[in-house]
Amino acid sequence: MADILLINPPIYDTTKLGKLDCDEHWSPPLGIAYIASVLSGNGFDVKALDLYYTPIESSKTIIQKELGRIVGISCFSEQRVSTYRMIEYIRSLSKDVLIVLGGPHSNYLYKQLLESYPVDVVILGEGEITFLEIARAYLKNESIDNIPGIAIKRDGKVVLTAGRKLIEDLDSLPFPAYEHFLNTEYASINWFRELEINGRKADNMKWTALVGSRGCAYNCSFCSTPTFWNRRWRKRSPKNIVDEIEFLNKEYGYEFIDFSDDIFTLDQAWAIDVCKEIIRRNVHISWNCCTRVDAVSQELLTWMKNAGCLFTAFGIESFSAKVLDAVNKKVTKEKILKACEVCNNVDMNIEFLLIVGSPGETDETIGETVELIETVKPFAVAPSILTIFPGTQIYRDAVRDGFIDDSYWLTEKPCPYDTREHDIGTLIKWYNRIRDLDEIEKAKRPEDL
């Protein structure tokens, strides 16, 4: 039993409640992995558990065995119900354990959580330094009331302490504590199993995630990232990133890295330097990243290809100028086509990340997106239906329109699809029309279908 227990809660299967899919996890939860590493590096006894694919009753047995004096729990909007259940179970085991929440959902709904559940502290924003200061104070029986960057209850009222600045030097953080998750089973990555690297299928490679930068400088209306990171984008040094890649490859045998940055290539010169460092050090690794179509060039993509990048995912959302403007995407159709052209020039595989049902969506705008897919022929297409998340402009608009309010998040319903303009049948029809063009999905189907 460690002094501090960090938990990624069990899955809450939203497909049973009408969602078309449920979040899959292919690699360790980096949020608690970073916090675990910082705590361990400062002498604390910490245990981190990824219980995402562990049945709820089995998870309870594990938690009871590992319960520490402090328990930190990740809280994401789509999986919040699982977090709620963990909070209540942990409190039933002990009235004295300090329960700390972090993550996007608790960042936006901290007041509701502190008023509705037996939570002691909500960390706002980055958690590494804040959690460390909480641990130092609480385990010495000192007050945590004035630690910056938290929400707590004081005299029955929810109060915020002073704000905490973002970590400027990301290289100052230790690598995530991957060692806590080496025996954890994750979802298969065979959704791109047809891709080959030097004659070897990608799905046979040992996979993990890595973050080279934090934040996003844009303000798309469907995304909560700008609110969480204050529209700041910060990057690690190329050396620090490749040090971690080399460590993961040599120490744990990871062969494929998912750069989980919101926009990996926002600074193209920096991204090229990362590629050059991989090549200079002869690190045999394959990887992918996600970015914007206006943040790539032929020079950059050539370096990425030479450094082992297997594919890049573009958050395109739509190929309709009307829809792109409606979600504040700040890109044009011309830029989308140019990015696809330069990818084709260097033989870079492309994945399209798309949203159906955005404001102004029609059969005609869906038709424009279909035409793009049929013209470009990306190796993968990943559509989703516009979903309403706290912390987004879409959510604020939906509250204004009376479609939803904060009380929704106390229910066990999944994050809702935005059906203000279109009924769910229309949205699913559009979703399926896009999904049917996905080459990966086609490859999964029996030949006689």
Smallest Cα–Cα separation from 129: which of 181, 171, 165?
165
Segment 317-336 mean pLDDT? 96
Segment 309-313 mean pLDDT? 94
Segment 85-108 mean pLDDT? 96
Residue 441 confidence (pLDDT) above 70: no
CA 288 to chain centroid, in Å, comes to 15
Residue 119 confidence (pLDDT) above 80: yes
CA-atom Rg of the chain in angstroms? 22
Whole-number Å distance between alpha carbons of 437 and 423: 22
**188-386+419-444: CATH number:** 3.20.20.70
Residue 417 confidence (pLDDT) above 60: yes
Q: What percent of the chain has pLDDT over 70?
A: 94
- pLDDT class for 317, splitting at 50, 70, 90? very high
**Domain spans, the chain:** 4-160, 188-386+419-444
Length of the chain: 449
Q: Range with the lowest mean pLDDT among 18-27, 335-344, 405-414, 430-439?
A: 18-27
Helix (H, G, I), strand (E, B) or coil at 237: coil
Same fold, 4-160 and 188-386+419-444: no
**What does the pLDDT read at residue 442?**
59
pLDDT in tens, 215-261: 998 999 999 888 887 788 999 999 999 999 999 999 999 999 999 99
Q: Range with the lowest mean pLDDT among 89-98, 167-176, 181-190?
A: 181-190
- pLDDT class for 320, splitting at 50, 70, 90? very high
220 neighbors 358 (Cβ within 8 angstroms)? no
Residue 32 confidence (pLDDT) above 50: yes
285: which residues sit within 8 A by CB, 6+ positions away? Answer: 245, 249, 254, 255, 256, 257, 278, 308
- pLDDT class for 194, splitting at 50, 70, 90? low
Residue 120 confidence (pLDDT) above 90: yes
- pLDDT class for 342, splitting at 50, 70, 90? very high
**What does the pLDDT read at residue 191?**
61
- pLDDT class for 438, splitting at 50, 70, 90? confident
Whole-number Å distance between alpha carbons of 418 and 388: 6
Segment 402-424 mean pLDDT? 97
* Torsions phi, psi for 57 (to 5 deg): -70, -40
Residue 285 confidence (pLDDT) above 70: yes
Segment 148-169 mean pLDDT? 94
Residue 449 confidence (pLDDT) above 50: no
Helix (H, G, I), strand (E, B) or coil at 260: coil
Tokens of 271: 């991204």
**What does the pLDDT read at residue 440?**
61
- pLDDT class for 443, splitting at 50, 70, 90? low
Residue 37 confidence (pLDDT) above 90: yes
Residue with the bigger pLDDT between 387 and 192: it is 387
pLDDT in tens, 148-157: 999 999 988 9
Residue 78 confidence (pLDDT) above 90: yes
Segment 262-278 mean pLDDT? 97
Fold topology of 4-160: Rossmann fold (3.40.50)
Residue 76: what residue type?
Answer: F
* pTM score of the predicted model: 0.93
Whole-number Å distance between alpha carbons of 359 and 422: 9
Let me know if 444 is exposed, middle or buried by CB neighbors in 10 A (0-12, 13-18, 19+). exposed
Q: Range with the lowest mean pLDDT among 300-304, 417-421, 439-443?
A: 439-443
Segment 289-318 mean pLDDT? 96
Helices H, strands E: what count in the chain?
16, 17
Residue 274 confidence (pLDDT) above 80: yes
- pLDDT class for 385, splitting at 50, 70, 90? very high
**What does the pLDDT read at residue 446?**
43
The overall average pLDDT reported for the chain is 92
Whole-number Å distance between alpha carbons of 180 and 256: 19
